[in-house]
Structure 1
């Protein structure tokens, strides 16, 4: 078994370990590495990075980092961050709207429902729904899209239920499906109707074999099956991958189904494969950058290390060079 395959489960477990968080965040070199994947801790820093990305012809999806909130005040603070962000994004959205087709919004925010109170001991589902509704309302006023992120499999039923409720008032609302979950093919069929926006990713959490495919080959095959369902559907597929094979498959499937460049998009993470992002833009493909910011960067950072051996190697080399 490859070294990276052995480390990935450990890194994903560490992503939710308070003890490991204290250790990693105290290492001086960590901050400089985090800057590669996270666009700062404040709205101003996020807006500055967003402006640069939009100027390059790419679209943006901004995530205020945070998850697993069990405190209502923290959930309220997350809502406030999004409302402030969307107030700033309104001007950017209007300024750059003419560069994107009428059917596509070049500015989007991504939400984790667990950061909005989904796990609160009483009425968590209701609180998260209400908080998400506030953000969606502000996004509509700002001319921005909203996509609800996926988290670990224990949240999927609640998350999709909230998504269905929100779509009654906000039909353009998108959501994320994770191809490694065995249920996802059925969810793709259920959610690929007219007007839907589905971001398909492979999955970034440590999941048991009872609910998720294990191993790269099995996950890749699941991704391709789910991608085919979405491309055959009536919605707007959002292909979230850095894997050249998956991107090429998406482009080929879109061509075979007669989809124009305005009827799907590729999505990549901030700080990863910038040259490839710009190459796709140069070929008139729609590409959206997922840009995270905020103080609660630890879990996100650890999952990025676990996803790609190159990220982990870069981190370890940097640690060694600073010892």
Structure 2
């Protein structure tokens, strides 16, 4: 019930205005978001890389209503790629793109592939890679098709899939056969029960089934979860499949799971941090609470300090 309530709040503009204007919120946000600006993200990425971690930078994007906005977002992604090159972080950090931000939902839909290609060209020249984010089931077909098209020329292009969606097991079979880089997440969006699993236990079971497919496939699994039980299962499956630590990676959201990150690093695994930045953090932050309601205690402590 709490999860559903929080996901509903994430789409409520009135609550958005109240929370974003509340002073203690800023302190809380900095636990999970690098900052509003690219400079903030680069500084945080540098600290994480110096600790032996790798990074995916995610510029938190709002809605794109027209071609001009899609072009603006494309330029922002290009600025990010260029900064990674200049700061010599490109080999340790990649760029997450939101297809909707660069034109996926525009009426003709033609711009998204062109814009994504421009970003991939720059990323290759800089020595970094791109991952296409998936927000919810409505964009699944288009996002997977975009990633497949990009992989023809940029085979390191990765894509996100959600174990909470009923379709994802089938998608994982397809992706594992194409040697794709795949970021497997649970997903924290409200969906119809015909489309998504309602019970958390069923989402977890789907996650394990998808893990088995990806780890035993030909691709590169990117295991994005803070659930220690699922991490242990992934480690065991990797051993059974004969995968060395460098043949997959574990991913965590910024500000979460530090002890587990250190344990995995000590075991020789690649550990990547999903590092968000930008002023449009509201929806992202509330979805993080929906995924991990225990994080609400941070807000409570912040309010008490005030």
Which category of TM-score, normalised to the shorter sequence, fits these structures? over 0.9
SS in 1 for 2:94: strand
SS in 2 for 1:192: helix
Moved more, 199-208 or 233-242: 199-208
- CA deviations on 1:59-100 (whole Å, 9 max, x unpaired) are 110011114322333222221111111111014446x85xxx
Residue 52 of structure 2: aligned partner: 57
Match of 1:108 among 83, 94, 101: 94
After superposing on structure 2, the runs of 4+ consecutive aligned residues of structure 1 that deviate more than 4 Å are none
**What value does the CA root-mean-square deviation take over the aligned residues?**
1.5
Question: What are the equivalent positions in structure 2 for 1:257-296 lying under 5 Å apart?
Answer: 257-296=241-280
Question: What are the equivalent positions in structure 2 for 1:303-322 lying under 5 Å apart?
Answer: 303-319=287-303, 321-322=305-306
The normalised TM-score by structure 1 is: 0.91
Counterpart check, 1:177 vs 2:161:
yes
Residue 25 of structure 1: aligned partner: 20
Match of 2:104 among 101, 114, 118: 118
Q: For the Cα contact (< 8 Å) 2:27–2:302, is it kept in 1?
A: no
Match of 1:200 among 161, 174, 184: 184
2 CA distance for matches of 1:254 and 1:185? 18
**Number of residues of Structure 1 aligned to a counterpart in Structure 2:** 306
**Alignment gaps of 5+ in structure 2:** none
Question: What are the equivalent positions in structure 2 for 1:103-182 lying under 5 Å apart?
Answer: 106-120=92-106, 122-123=107-108, 125-182=109-166
2 CA distance for matches of 1:91 and 1:277? 27
1:209 Cα deviation after fit: 0.7
The normalised TM-score by structure 2 is: 0.96
1 CA distance for matches of 2:172 and 2:159? 11
2 CA distance for matches of 1:73 and 1:312? 37
